[in-house]
Amino acid sequence: MENQKPIRIVGVPMDLGASRRGTDMGPSALRIAGLGPALRKMGLEVGRENDIAVPSPESRDPESTQLRFHAEILSTCRELAVSVEKILQEGARPLVLGGDHSIALGTVSGVASYFREKDENIGLLWFDAHGDMNLPDTSPSGNIHGMPLAHLIGRGDDELASIGGFKGKIKPENVALIGVRDIDKNERNIIRESGIHIYTMRDIDERGMAGVAKEALEVMNAGTAGFHLSFDVDGLDPSVAPGSGTLVAGGVSFREAHLLLEHCADSGTMVSMEVVELNPVIDNGNETAERVIQLIQSAFGLAIL
């Protein structure tokens, strides 16, 4: 079972993919709130932590208006992919702390590369208020944190889509996008045509999180070696997690999120996880980080009884 493997934490203090500064402090916020001790208290082994060095936006020129900070994000994600793949090769589970959601280009590429060497595929749970399926020519902002999922299924910019030396890190039919409630106009058709499975807040309201979680796990585990969990803090309702720069009202409740992550843990097939878009600059006394740690504990197997 994946639940028994040690955890290796990697911090990626990057906010190059977003418009608002502050997500670069997300890894520190989680560490200050006690992430490592909380996992060890569960009896889990937490190995040596590592960070990926990231340049500040102020020190660089965005260059492109369609792909802002393309070179810097590409370089960072390539390094992250190598780090994540090495953790898996050493028999541990990566827990990556962001940073904005563009870091998923590196995390998922590393996980997919590891399993590709074993002739296996992985599934992907993308928990997010947004679709993150924009392409360079459809993005209204040019911010890469709104594009990673499209690139991970092989679309968009060739270099971003080819991190690790191959395109199509995840098959669309093995992707479950949960919590969506804010999609850009030109992004809608991309999502509809992509073949991914999408569960909006309406689906959660009508079917309940338990039903959505069970179906999503079937989607992600169908013919795969397991799944990666990409957890965007803005998927939560702002009343639960005010510390994110991309807040959208009407999100997933604290208890619903716990239930989803408890199902992930129960499945025993979560091979890796990342947490993104935590912005302590606009948080209330680091309460978002404290709540997110509780959710991470659920994902790694903490149960009420």
pLDDT tens digits for 176-226? 999 999 999 889 999 999 999 999 999 999 999 999 999 999 999 999 999
- Closest by CA to 74, choosing from 123, 136, 25, is 136
What single-letter DSSP state applies at residue 88? H
CA 228 to each of CA 67, 121, 239, 299: distance values in angstroms, whole numbers, following the listed order? 25, 11, 26, 11
- Closest by CA to 243, choosing from 17, 22, 13, is 22
pLDDT tens digits for 152-170? 999 999 999 999 999 999 9
pLDDT tens digits for 233-265? 999 999 999 999 889 999 999 999 999 999 999
Q: How many domains does the chain have?
A: 1
Per-residue tokens: 123: 């599934």
Query: Is the alpha carbon torsion for 27, 13, 4, 236 positive or negative?
Result: positive
132's CB contacts (< 8 A; 6+ apart) are 101, 126, 145, 146, 147, 148, 149, 150, 232
Establish if 292 belongs to a structural domain.
Answer: yes
pLDDT > 90: percent of the chain? 90
State phi, psi for 120 to the nearest 5 degrees: -125, 155
Q: What is the pLDDT of residue 20?
A: 83
Distance CA 31, CA 38 (A): 10
Distance CA 251, CA 47 (A): 33
- The residue type of 128 is D
Establish if 304 belongs to a structural domain.
Answer: no
Q: What is the pLDDT of residue 1?
A: 55
Distance CA 40, CA 7 (A): 10
Per-residue tokens: 228: 């990666």
Between 21 and 40, the higher pLDDT residue: 40
Radius of gyration for the chain, computed over Cα atoms and rounded to the nearest angstrom: 17
Establish if 104 belongs to a structural domain.
Answer: yes
Establish if 305 belongs to a structural domain.
Answer: no
Contact (CB, 8 A) for 179 and 235: yes
Which residue is listed with tokens 């999100």?
Answer: 251
Q: What is the pLDDT of residue 19?
A: 79
Contact (CB, 8 A) for 252 and 206: no
What mean pLDDT comes out for the span 4-25? 93
On the question of pLDDT at 75 being above 80, the answer is: yes
Q: What CATH number corresponds to the domain at position 274?
A: 3.40.800.10
Hey, which residues are catalytic here? 101, 128, 130, 132, 145, 232, 234, 277
Side-chain half-sphere CA neighbours of 304 within 13 A: 6
Per-residue tokens: 9: 């934490």
Q: What is the pLDDT of residue 63?
A: 75
Per-residue tokens: 195: 């073949």
Q: What is the pLDDT of residue 185?
A: 87
pLDDT tens digits for 265-296? 999 999 999 999 999 999 999 999 999 999 99
Q: Which of 3-17, 94-108, 199-213, 283-297 has the lowest mean pLDDT?
A: 3-17
Q: What is the pLDDT of residue 61?
A: 78
Find the domain containing 170 and state its range: 2-299
298's CB contacts (< 8 A; 6+ apart) are 257, 258, 261, 262, 265
Establish if 23 belongs to a structural domain.
Answer: yes
On the question of pLDDT at 2 being above 90, the answer is: no
Q: What is the pLDDT of residue 236?
A: 98
On the question of pLDDT at 3 being above 90, the answer is: no
304's CB contacts (< 8 A; 6+ apart) are none
